[in-house]
Structure 1
Amino acid sequence: MKHITQLENFVHPPLEANALRKSLLSAVYTETIRKLSIYQRSQRINARYCAPKKESTPKYEPSARRSSRKGTSHTLDGAEAVLNEKMLNEIRLDQELTLLQKIYGTALAELELDTTDVTEDPVRTHDQLYSVIEAQKPDKNEVEQALDQLNANKEALKALKIQLAEEQQAAKTRIAEQDDCIATLRHNLRNVRLLNELELRLVQRWEENRYTQASIVGANEERTLQQQIADLCRRIDGEERIIVQVDKFSVKQFAELNAQIAAWQQKYARVMEIKCAETQAKERQILKLQKSLERHRETYAERQKFVRDYLAEKEEERQLYEQQIHRVECAVRIQAWWRGLMVRRGLGPFKKKSKKGKRGKSKAK
């Protein structure tokens, strides 16, 4: 049905006989490649799941495992020979399947090239397909190569077994160490549990003692509070009596204060009359003083103007005097500088005299 559907897909518009043949060949090639790949994959999966497993020995029978090693060595050799033949057959089958898959793939590629290249010559030589077939021919030493590979795999398996034994030994030592650690941790846990129980009992006793102590303290505080309440009641009674007496005293005092206020008001009226007369006299005196103050201000302004003029004249004279002194000092300094310059350079009256005679005498000596 699949080929028919492919043909129906290809035949629209109607094809020639050559195109139909190529389409049929391409469908057959693709189907064959697919079936070969599926078969090869199934063979590999079966070989993976059907591999012989080791018989597990229980941990509590180490002596039986050691004794059974020598007895089972001969059976393992026979099984290994059978497995070697089976593995060789599987390797050969796998290589043949890959060879067929490559050949069909090359043929399919050439067929597709033929369908695409319509303009080229229809008569084509399948050189590429022949070269692939020639290249993929099995070698005569293929069995020997497979045997060498098998021997190498055996050596690798032995090395892996040795490594597995070493790792098992290391794992046993680690397990023993972990058992020791677990034992110590259990012992520490037991000690911690006992310590926690002891602390719990102590805390419970401490809480009980604290409760009894708190109850005793509460009873004592209750007695003291009741005594304080009785004292407060006595003090309240005494304060009520004092309040009654204070009310009586305040009424009497209020009456006395009203009488004093009336007397002080009369006295205030008399004093106010006296003070008003005094203030009027003081106001008249202030008016007189203000008039005299204005006269004194005028005189003060005139005298202040005279003083300012006098001080300005004095300041001008002082500046002129200082300026004259500064000029004299500058002239003296310039004269001293000029005289020193004439002395140092021997100018004018300070010209140095020649000493020729003395120089001749020194030469004669």
Structure 2
Amino acid sequence: MEPLSPLDVLRVSTVLEGCLDQLSILGYIMPVSYEGRPDSESLVCDDIGRILKHQRKLQWKFKELMSSKSQSLVRKPAQDGEQQGDAAGDLKRSNLMFSRALEQDPLSAESLLKVQADRQFAAGVITETLSELQEFGTFQNLLSAVEVEKDKKTNLYNIIVSEEEGRRRTKALQRQLQDIRKEKEIELQRRNEMIAHLKDQLQEMKAKTGLEGKYVKKSCELQVTQGQKICGEHEHQHLADIQRLRDKIDEETRSHLEIENFLKHHQTELEEKLEFWMEKYDKDIDAKQHELTMLKTAKTNDLARLQELAKQYRECEQVVMEDRVEKENERKRRGQEELEYKSCTKIQAWWRGIMVRKCLGPYKTGKKGKKGKGKGKGKGKKKKK
């Protein structure tokens, strides 16, 4: 910040000193409370009227911005959004201040003590600013104090908004809790009715169970008697089955002995065949082993011959590749010579043409040359004809 001129410092210092005097006089004449004074109600009504007027002004400004946003086509959307956000913030702060003003009593001693504290703070800031102006010619303390107060005010607004949101959330949770309590009460009543109904059913079931117990006891006695008779009949039947099974066991024993003798005879025959096939297997193994040895020897000879043929093939392939390279080089050399010959022919023709057109060398102009030139022209005309 650049320092002010001495004249500006003198002017500002005079104004600040006047403010300090007025604040000190206000501190001496300000009462402890306005309660009991006849003009207290008029003071309060004036304060509320001023706040209402400011709030109506902000609402009107917000409505104008909303209407201009819908009707305007030239203004940029970003500027409209910023102005609308500023107007909405001012309207919100005004509503908050109005609600706080209605909740608080400006005539109480607490409000007046707050006014005294604000007056002392303002006097202190002005005193520091005045000393800074007189020493350095700047007012940085005043700007710092304003920024600090703005930050405090913003934090206070944020705290109030968060508190209001918390209260709304608390009310919503309370309503939700009441709904849950009503639901639980209804559910509890329904369960009590269900318990009473189940108790009635339990009494009925006890009576039914007693009757069923007597019936089951008699039924069991009858079933036992009937079971004994049935078991006696089954016992006689099982004894007959046991005798029949014993006869079958004797028959199976005889059959087993006959089958065993047959299998022993068959086993002897199979052992003889096994010895024959084992001897044949050994002979076949020896023959195949000899054949395998002969095949390995033939494979070794064929592999050596294959390697020799591969070596000859590589040598022949190398000779063929060298011959191809030589032919390719010869073809390129011939092509280069033909290209050089054509280029030389073209250059010579171009140079001769230049010498003829420029009359250089043997084609210089002279008497003989003129005659030759006339003849040449005649020849040229004849050619054209």
Name the TM-score, length of structure 1 as normaliser. 0.39
Q: Which has the larger radius of gyration?
A: 1
Higher relative contact order (CA 8 A, sep 6+): 2
Name the TM-score, length of structure 2 as normaliser. 0.37
